[in-house]
Amino acid sequence: MKIYLAPMDGVVDSIMREALTNVGGFDYCVTEFLRVTGQVCPEHMFFRYCPELEQEAQTKSKTPVHFQLLGGNPELLAQNAAIAVKLGAPSIDLNFGCPAKTVNKHDGGAFLLQFPDRIFNIIKAVRQAVAQPTPVSAKIRLGYEDKNLVIENSQAVEEAGASWLVVHARTKVEGYKPPAHWEWIARIKEKLSLPVIANGDIWTLDDYLECSRITQCEDVMLGRGAISCPDLALQIKKHKAGEEYLPYTWKEVQPLVKQMFHQCWAFGNARYPVTRTKQWSKFLSRNYPEALELFENIKRHRDPEPIAQIIENSVSKKHIP
């Protein structure tokens, strides 16, 4: 089985990829999408979205990082895919699942799920531009407004030559509202011969087991579940191996938050560590009540200095004023 770390835009950047893959359990991760609009992107943009290209396209834990592109123009996507591979990307992933309004208004993401022929043409163009054996994969949702085209879209992905398909088990309109419709992934899997990876609402080990039972997919992609439970992938891997494992406590998560904060601060942008730490502490509060306490203590601050002290006090178990 393989576990993939989802490319969550504005959440899973290189710093988060490093933190989560250092914990363990992931077989590969995917960059945030590079949006391709009216031109071929300059090389520095590829390094901005995937700094790991400087280190053989791997995180420090040696987890491969695959490059994701988003857009609606087959020729431009193909040209940009070729550049990414030339720069060292081990795989190209194509995003047909992003539900963001700004993306969908500009001919990208889940908007394309209304046009199976366009999905086919995009994947086909990228596949032709990227030499074998470099994989080309795709991520879709169950549809745009409804699920009427999901099988046709999935078959278009396969017929165009994709190496595997990731399916988020909701439509664009459903967004992230529960439940995820795992039974639809099972229907897709029955129609295809290429590997299918399940995604959506896998928050716990029990969720993984139920998702796997319903979809018949051992391979999964973790997004929000991994952000809120940093060792979720490791829990799943240990369970599958029949090994005993004690899930992370808040004491083990705290150093991850501290490291992430200081790595973000090192970029020189004072807003970056502030917003990212607030964001992650909110995600973590789903599993760790102490993370909600951390969020409540930092939410009023806009500068990194007081947040750094609060985090330090929290890690050293000092009183938080």
How many Å apart are CA 273 and CA 296, to the nearest integer? 16
How many Å apart are CA 286 and CA 40, to the nearest integer? 41
Same domain for 183 and 258, yes or no, is no
Same domain for 30 and 10, yes or no, is yes
Same domain for 147 and 272, yes or no, is no
Question: For residue 315, what pLDDT is reported?
Answer: 82
Task: From 240, 271, 298, give the residue that closes a domain.
Answer: 240
On whether residue 13 sits in a domain, the answer given is: yes
How many Å apart are CA 256 and CA 262, to the nearest integer? 10
Q: Which of 29, 41, 50, 98 is catalytic?
A: 98
**Which string of DSSP letters, residue by residue, matches 227-256?**
HHSTTHHHHHHHHHTT---PPPPHHHHHHH
Helix axes 182-191, 205-215, angle to 10 degrees: 40
pLDDT tens-place string over residues 30-74: 999 999 998 999 999 999 999 999 999 999 999 999 999 999 999
DSSP state of 58: B
CATH number assigned to the domain comprising residue 32: 3.20.20.70
On whether residue 320 sits in a domain, the answer given is: no
pLDDT tens-place string over residues 212-254: 999 999 999 999 999 999 999 999 999 999 999 999 999 999 9
DSSP state of 27: S
On whether residue 171 sits in a domain, the answer given is: yes
Q: Which domain holds residue 285?
A: 250-315
Q: Are 119 and 157 in contact, with CB atoms under 8 Å apart?
A: yes
Same domain for 108 and 256, yes or no, is no
Same domain for 256 and 220, yes or no, is no
- Residue 278's pLDDT band, with cuts at 50, 70 and 90, is very high
On whether residue 245 sits in a domain, the answer given is: no
The answer to whether 98 is a known catalytic residue is: yes
Same domain for 264 and 225, yes or no, is no
Task: From 240, 273, 300, give the residue that closes a domain.
Answer: 240
Count other Cβ atoms within 10 Å, centred on residue 279.
Answer: 15
Q: Are 194 and 170 in contact, with CB atoms under 8 Å apart?
A: no
Domain tally, the chain: 2
- Residue 317's pLDDT band, with cuts at 50, 70 and 90, is low
CATH number assigned to the domain comprising residue 303: 1.20.225
- Residue 316's pLDDT band, with cuts at 50, 70 and 90, is confident
Task: From 240, 264, 283, give the residue that closes a domain.
Answer: 240
Same domain for 8 and 150, yes or no, is yes
